[in-house]
Chains A and B, each alone.
Chain A
Amino acid sequence: MASRRWASPLWVAALSLVPLALVAWAWSLTLARALPRADFVFNNGTEVSSLDPAAANGIPEGRVIRALYEGLYTREPIGGNAVPALAANTELSADRLTYIFKLKPGIVWSNGDPLTAADFEWNFRRLLDPETASPFAGELWCIRGARELNTGRDAADTPVEPGAVALGVKATDDATLVIELVAPTAHFLELLAAYQLSPVHRASLEAARKRSPQGWTSEWTRPGALVGNGPYVLAERRLNDRIRLVKNERYWDADSVAMRTIDALAIEDATTAFNLYFAGEVDWLDGNVPASLIDRLLARDDFDPEPYFGLYFYRVNTTKPPLDDPRVRRALYATINRVQICDRLLEAGQKPAYTLVPWGHMGSYSSPPAKKEDLEGARQALAEAGFGPEGKPIGTLRILYNSSEQNRSIAELVANDWSEYLDIDVDLENQEWKSYVDRQSNLQYDVSRSSWICDYLDVLNFFAVFTSESDNNRTGWKNADYDKLIAEARGIVDPGARNALLRRAETILLDELPILPIYSYVSQNLVDPRVGGFGVNPLNEQNPKYWYWMDEPELARSRRAQNKREKKVSSHGPKEGLYSPKAQAERKAGGRTRK
């Protein structure tokens, strides 16, 4: 019987071949994965949710989509302002309701097809089509007919056919696009610079839909199939690993593009990403740097935290006693030791926030003066509300936060402040992300950690969050005066008048305090000192088009000009630099004149 001779030489030989075969198979699998290093490698922090601009809605998505597509407007890297991209000329009617865009001539898709105004008309309609289910669609409701198209209901709330809705976006000829708005919208061009409004190639999308009615979304975003109009094309996509971008030679401004290949990595672990940066395999980290290293990074010239338009704050459930009393909220607000949180815990240059608008100003807007920490005032406010040693006990407050070490540390400090100065019992409650979001949305909390990052450079973006009808309010706070001021400000274009209204609104909010601002964010880029064209802006939006490698003389000049940090970090980039064809020609010409 075979089983009796289980240890026969044949069996042993066969068994020992198994591990060898496994190793050989694993080895053969890796052969197909070899990729030469890209000219520029950055860590995007996570896998992008989609390469379809209409389906995406996040910062990592934006970095890749800006490389693959380009819309009417884009953002310049320095300052982050909206600037024309494919729009050669923009006209605005006197009533500020009609925009007329002239497209740049000779724009083509990456497959050679011409790009016309009709492409934009179709794309706006697609973005608003309920079937597209774009998360960004709500932002465009300022366009005539957009709300009806997107919700499938007209102003009287009766159902309408999407096809029957007249949308205020029309291509009058190949190069002219007319957009009509419902009301004057000061930030409309800011909106147009959003990457979500990048156009997609109609023919390839419709062909994919026809070929596979169910799997088309994954089909038309494949490398090779995806047709874009940006500075780069998609060469390779490995889920949770990397996206390889290759320069698009058909791009209208290809002469200004330096990097021939770019890799966007999807590494989520901060330590791993840092190790790769440290070893020179990554040239830019998206800001997810290990918190324990920040004090040492601050001395280096490749780490440069800059003000970032994001606010870390606590929402207060204003529907729940005793938090429904503004005096109680004022007491909580005035006892948070924000300086300690910023200087001892976060350390990267975050600043205490006392206003709704982070950093207290944005563009031409500046916040009204706000109250700061005030222990005596806090105790008094609490006593006036009838709580404290002589009044009723306040009970236990619970701080809800999403699981993260930093959120916990901050909550511990805040809880300590409240129990020490106000004698309130505080419980900490952490929840994983989705449960936390759910609890916050359903007002199942007392105090909840929150943050808001600005979508575009318009201060209204912050104010709109706390109007009564906003889905993002989530504090139960409703104030008719505040709502009225915001609605009024929306229609005003003159910055002075608009800012005055918003300042009044912010004063109301800071008096009522449905939120407790804690700190203003900083961007935490760790970037090779040799990288040029890397912009500093309050949205920390980067555009791959502008990146290049400096050569030795330029690096030395740039270091002299900045001269910020003591510790000069040696660069892993190419010593001879890497410049765009245009910059190369200019440098040649410049070199000759200098001689």
Chain B
Amino acid sequence: MKRFVLRRALGLVLTVWIVVTTAFLMMRVVPGGPFSAERRLPAAVLANVEARYHLDWPIWRQYLQYLGPLNLDSHGLLGDRERPFGGVLAGDLGPSFRYRDYTVNQILGESLPLSLALGSLALAWAVTVGTTLGILAAARRGTKLDLSLRLVAALGIALPSFVIAGLLVLVFSLALGWSPVAGSSTFAHFVLPSLALGAPVAAYVARLVRTGLIESLSQDYVRTAVAKGLPYSTVILRHAARGGLLPAVSYLGPAAAGVLTGSLVIERIFAIPGTGSHFVASALSRDYTLALGVTIVYSVLIYSLNALVDFAYTRLDPRIALEEL
């Protein structure tokens, strides 16, 4: 267990470092900068603006300053008495270029809880409903119930979330008036978006649980359990489900990372000021620091959730041992 955690922690640091470095360089290669605009600034003014954000420095120095922890600010090495350390290694993601009144830490601090809350709601219902329906469909395999559940799941996967979101708004907000149209100031505002966000997840989970369960139902150990005379429900829940859940669990790792960091489409449609919109917008506005900030959050989250999935594997499948991972 100790070795597993240690190795994963090391892997996390290495992965994030590679991701940050690649993203940092890729951002700079793309044409246009944070201050290039249709209404061009006079050269002298532009130079002033860029100097303020150290964009006039050579790229290696900008990179070192961004990474930290030594503060290479214009005050010189360790010159700034108030804050000797800066950069990612000191937990400072820098100022945002697009939102001048905010630092990236503040932006993430404001937007991430909203995305996490919305994502949690979506995951909570999607996993509960998806697993239940998947087990039901597998247990009643070949029946009308199975067929209709599979149909609904196929729809949930095939329909893009903006279509689902649009339909939900049309029916529940505009036609019936049961739900607010958009916004984020009450719990009611989160209901429709979490439904739309969770729908494809629920559909995938249901399908994966169904196929996984059907496969493990044909395994020898399940047949043995049935032959022992155990009730069918016990066999499914206690014996078959264990192996049958594996595919769904490995899907849920990366899926949860995506859902928790927010979805651009859902956040736009429901006007939720989460992190999802920053993924695309920060790259488009060449907000170097914000783009790197959301990349870091996403890579940390996806790496940790994958480690969690691996850990869950050892609990679900006795053939996999923690020490081997």
Interface of A toward B, CB cutoff 8 Å: 3-4, 6-7, 16, 18-20, 22-23, 25-27, 29-31, 33-35, 47, 49-52, 55, 57, 130-135, 137-138, 150-153, 212-215, 217-218, 221, 238-241, 265-269, 271-272, 275-276, 278-279, 281, 432-435, 437-441, 450-451, 471-472, 474
Contact = CB atoms under 8 A, between A and B. Distances in A.
Given A275-B173, A434-B284, 5 more contacts: A49-B99, A137-B48, A239-B111, A272-B268, A275-B181
A214 B83 contact: yes
B238 A7 contact: yes
Q: Which 6 pairs, one residue from A and one from B, show the smallest C-beta to C-beta distance?
A: A434-B32, A19-B124, A240-B273, A26-B117, A22-B120, A50-B100
A50 B52 CA distance: 15
5 contacts: A4-B318, A27-B187, A268-B268, A434-B32, A434-B286
Contacts of B187: 26-27, 30-31
A434 B169 contact: no
A272 B42 contact: no
Contacts of A6: 242, 315-316
A218 B103 contact: yes
A268 B86 CA distance: 33
Nearest to B44: A151
B127 A34 contact: no
A275 B45 contact: no
Contacts of B73: 214
Contact of B103 (A137, A215, A268, A471): A215
A433 B124 contact: no
Given A30-B187, A50-B101, A434-B286, A272 B271 contact: yes
Interface of B: 30-33, 36-45, 48-49, 51-52, 73, 80, 82-83, 86, 95, 98-103, 106-107, 110-111, 113-114, 117-118, 120-121, 123-125, 127-128, 169, 173-174, 180-187, 189-190, 237-238, 241-242, 268-271, 273, 277, 284-286, 314-316, 318
B35 to A, nearest CB: 8
A451 B38 contact: yes
A275 B182 contact: yes
Contact of A238 (B82, B121, B273): B273
Given A19-B128, A438-B36, A150 B271 contact: no
Contacts of B241: 7
Contacts of A130: 44, 48, 51
A239 B282 CA distance: 14
B101 A217 contact: yes
A131 B52 contact: yes
A130 B270 CA distance: 41
A138 B41 contact: yes
A140 to B, nearest CB: 11
A275 B40 CA distance: 35
A19 B114 contact: no
A6 B242 CA distance: 8
Nearest to B269: A272
A469 B315 CA distance: 71
A132 B33 CA distance: 19
Contacts of B36: 434, 437-438, 441
Given A30-B185, A52-B100, A279-B173, A240 B117 contact: no
A26 B190 contact: yes
B224 to A, nearest CB: 16
A22 B126 CA distance: 12
Contacts of A213: 80, 82-83
Contacts of A7: 237-238, 241-242
A29 B114 CA distance: 8
B281 to A, nearest CB: 9
A3 B43 CA distance: 67
B189 A30 contact: yes
B101 A51 contact: yes
Contacts of B181: 272, 275-276, 278-279, 281
B175 to A, nearest CB: 12
A133 B268 contact: no
Given A52-B101, A138-B41, A272 B273 contact: no
A562 B32 CA distance: 47
B318 A3 contact: yes
A471 B106 CA distance: 35
Contacts of B40: 441, 471-472, 474
A271 B170 CA distance: 11
Given A30-B190, A135-B45, A239 B125 contact: no
B271 A19 contact: no
A378 B96 CA distance: 50
A463 B186 CA distance: 50
Contacts of B83: 212-214
B184 A435 contact: no
B185 A33 contact: yes
A132 B49 CA distance: 8
Q: Which of A6, A50, A266, A451 has the most CB of B within 10 A?
A: A6
B73 to A, nearest CB: 7
B110 A238 contact: yes
A138 B48 CA distance: 12
A134 B242 CA distance: 62
Contact of B271 (A29, A239, A265, A440): A265
Contacts of B189: 30
A432 B40 CA distance: 17
Contacts of B45: 133-135, 137-138, 150
Nearest to A239: B110
A50 B185 CA distance: 23
B82 A212 contact: yes
Contacts of B185: 30, 33-35
Contacts of B284: 432-434
A30 B273 CA distance: 13
B52 A437 contact: no
Given A135-B49, A269-B271, A22 B123 contact: yes
A26 B41 contact: no
Among A34, A212, A441, which residue has the most Cβ atoms of chain B within 10 A? A441
Contacts of B285: 433-434
Contact of A267 (B33, B49, B182, B237): B182
Contacts of A212: 82-83
A16 B124 CA distance: 9
Contacts of A55: 100
B48 A131 contact: yes
Given A241-B271, A441-B36, A278 B49 contact: no
Nearest to B73: A214
Contacts of B48: 130-133, 137, 150
A134 B48 CA distance: 8
A468 B183 CA distance: 48
A19 B273 contact: no
A6 B249 CA distance: 15
A271 to B, nearest CB: 8
A438 B51 CA distance: 19
A16 B31 CA distance: 50
Contacts of A215: 95, 103
B176 to A, nearest CB: 12
A213 B124 CA distance: 43
A153 B48 CA distance: 13
A240 B277 contact: yes
B235 to A, nearest CB: 11
